[in-house]
Amino acid sequence: MNLSQTLLVALRSLRLNPMRSFLTMLGIVIGVASVVTVLAIGSGAQGRVADQIRAVGANVLMINPGTARKDGVRLKAGTRLTLTEGDVDAILAQVPQVRAAAGSLSGSAQVVRESRNWNTTINGTTNGHFLVRDWGLAAGRYFNGTEQITAAKVAILGSVVAREMFGRDEPVGAEIRIMSVPFEVVGVLDPKGPDQDDVAFVPLETAKLRFLGSASGVNRDAVAYIVAKAESDEAMVRAKREIEELVRQRHRIAAGDEDDFKVSDPAAAMDAQRGATRTIALLLTSVAGVSLLVGGISIMNIMTVTVAERTREIGIRRAVGARGVDIRLQFLSEALVLCLLGGLAGVAVGTGISLTVARSAGWVTRVDPQAIVLSVGFSALVGLFFGYYPAHRASRLDPVDALKME
């Protein structure tokens, strides 16, 4: 028989015992569904971390103020603003590995336009912030030099704020009110992701003068944090070390004393998170692969029982001219068809579970076509591997002895 005839015979044999066939391939269904689901969730998590890294910007260092102490008790980070605009200028002037840097103050406020209002983050900063973050404009312009020096009442909106305030209207040139102060919208930023786009930027001097200056306590030169952009990936380590040395010197921190600031690499932290996510996904995939092996063992057991039950059929086929290789191919085809059907059903179940998880839990899932091909291909290999023994056993039966069996 040719291959197509062998497959048709295999399908006909499986239809004779539908419940047994279903229970036999159930292990494969569960295994493949588990693999697809785990890979979809893991791929989605890694993709989300990658999006966060891109949103932060390439080669970015974050300098945050350290912790303060009150009555001998350490307070949370950022309770004492130890960083200043002078630190920003010094980093730009004395750390050659840094291409751009900017200090910022931030807080929450209600933004109002006519009958619309939206509570968002107000970030007072300079144009260097957009250079550090690789943040382009969708419309309008950045702050000009005069606006940054004179504390002009101008604003650049993130895409979420622009949508909520203006809908389909043109934001650039329009007026909004922040804490009852009128501001002219001069630009709208490109989208970077919902977590990043819900923000409105104003010049740093404007933020200090109008509504965020009190956050700095007694130092009007203070900023809440500094972002710096290194020249390249290779320059990150050296830039971080030189920034730490420079700021320690400027803040007159003695050797052995604790820093009043912290320099961190957000992209490195997020990349480490992605690596941890990948490791967990591989671990769970390995566990799911075990269920595929269990399903394969189940198929081998059931096929061995099937061979014992169909010895007369095998004897008749051998008596009318079927060769041992034909018998082997028939039973191997049945195992392969079982695993392929189970694999396809597992892909459907796994995809459905992934979509359900994404919808109900709010997680990001990505069903990778390569994962589907890999899962179905592995299930086919399981069928061939575990189906070979019973198929080979069937092909070795003596036709005379097989016909004598009841």
Same domain? For 28 and 168 the reply is no
Whether residue 136 contacts residue 54, with contact meaning beta carbons closer than 8 Å, is answered with no
Indicate the number of domains in the chain.
Answer: 2
Residues 47 and 176 in one domain: no
Average pLDDT, the chain: 82
pLDDT of 267 reads 64
| pLDDT of 354 | 86
Q: What is the mean pLDDT of residues 313-340?
A: 77
pLDDT in tens, 156-175: 999 999 999 999 999 999 99
**Which of residues 231, 259, 287 is at a domain's end?**
259
Q: Average pLDDT of 176-196? A: 90
pLDDT at residue 383, as a whole number: 80
| Predicted TM-score (pTM) above 0.85 | no
Residue 2 above 80 pLDDT? Answer: no
Q: Distances from the Cα of 77 to the Cαs of 27, 180, 297, in angstroms?
A: 51, 31, 56
Residue 117: both structure tokens together: 């209002």
Residues 113 and 242 in one domain: yes
The pLDDT-based confidence of 228 (bands split at 50, 70, 90) is very high
Identify the domain boundary among 259, 281, 309.
259
215 falls in which pLDDT band (50, 70, 90)?
Answer: very low
d(C-alpha 227, C-alpha 176), whole Å: 27
Q: Using an 8 Å Cβ cutoff, are 73 and 217 in contact?
A: no
> Is a pLDDT exceeding 90 seen at residue 339?
no
The values of phi and psi at residue 68, to 5°, are: -105, 160
Q: Is 89 a member of any domain?
A: yes
Q: Which of the pair, 190 or 75, is modelled with greater confidence?
A: 190
Q: Are 1 and 9 in contact (CB under 8 A)?
A: yes
Question: In this predicted structure, what is the pLDDT of residue 53?
Answer: 64
Greater model confidence, 127 or 20: 127
For 302-317, write each residue's pLDDT tens digit. Answer: 777 777 777 777 777 7
Residue 286 pLDDT > 90: no
Which CA distances in Å does 58 have to 93, 138, 192, 297?
21, 20, 13, 49
**Same-domain check for residues 275 and 383:** yes
Do 99 and 139 belong to one domain? Answer: yes
**pLDDT at residue 264, rounded to an integer:** 86
Question: Is residue 119 predicted with pLDDT exceeding 60?
Answer: yes
Domain end call among 215, 234, 259: 259
Q: Are residues 93 and 24 both part of a single domain?
A: no
How high is the pLDDT of residue 3?
A: 60
Domain membership flag for residue 69: no
Which of 145-154, 213-222, 316-325, 354-363 is the least confident region? 213-222
Residue 324 burial (C-beta neighbours within 10 Å; 0-12, 13-18, 19+): middle
Residue 106: count other Cβ atoms within 10 Å of its Cβ.
17
Longest CA–CA span in the chain (Å) reads: 105
In this predicted structure, the answer to whether residue 356 has a pLDDT above a threshold of 80 is yes
Looking at residue 402, what is its pLDDT?
A: 58
At residue 246, does pLDDT exceed 50?
Answer: yes
Residue 194 has pLDDT above 70, yes or no: no
Q: Are residues 232 and 309 in the same domain?
A: no
Please count the residues of the chain: 406
pLDDT confidence bin for 377, thresholds 50/70/90: confident
Is residue 61 domain-resident? Answer: no
Q: Could you tell me if 192 and 310 lie in one domain?
A: no
Domain span at residue 143 reads: 81-259
Work out the percent of the chain whose per-residue pLDDT is above 70: 82
The answer on pLDDT for 349 being more than 50 is yes
In angstroms, the first-to-last Cα distance of the chain is: 27
Do residue 372 and residue 239 come from a single domain?
no
Determine, yes or no, domain membership for 75: no
Quick one: what percent of the chain has pLDDT higher than 90?
Answer: 35
* Assigned token pair, 377: 């291909």
Asked if 226 and 284 sit in the same domain, the reply is no
Report the pLDDT averaged over residues 32-54: 75
Q: Pick the residue with more confidence: 120 or 70? A: 120
- Mean pLDDT check: name the lowest of 85-89, 94-98, 143-147, 390-394: 390-394
The verdict on residue 71 lying in a domain is: no
Measured distance CA(377)–CA(22) in Å, rounded? 19
Same domain, 15 and 139: no
User: Is residue 337, in this structure, part of any structural domain at all?
Assistant: yes
- Give the Cα separation of 86 and 222 in Å (integer): 9
pLDDT at 269 (0 to 100): 62
Per DSSP bridges, beta strands 83-84 and 73-77 are unpaired
Ramachandran region, residue 281 (left: φ > 0; alpha: ψ -120 to 50; beta: rest): alpha
CB contact at 8 A, 197 and 156: no
Kindly state the average pLDDT of the residues 136-162. Answer: 95
Mean pLDDT calculated for residue range 120-135 = 94
Token readout for 137 is: 């404009």
For the segment 226-252, the average pLDDT, to the nearest whole number, is 91
Same domain, 231 and 318: no
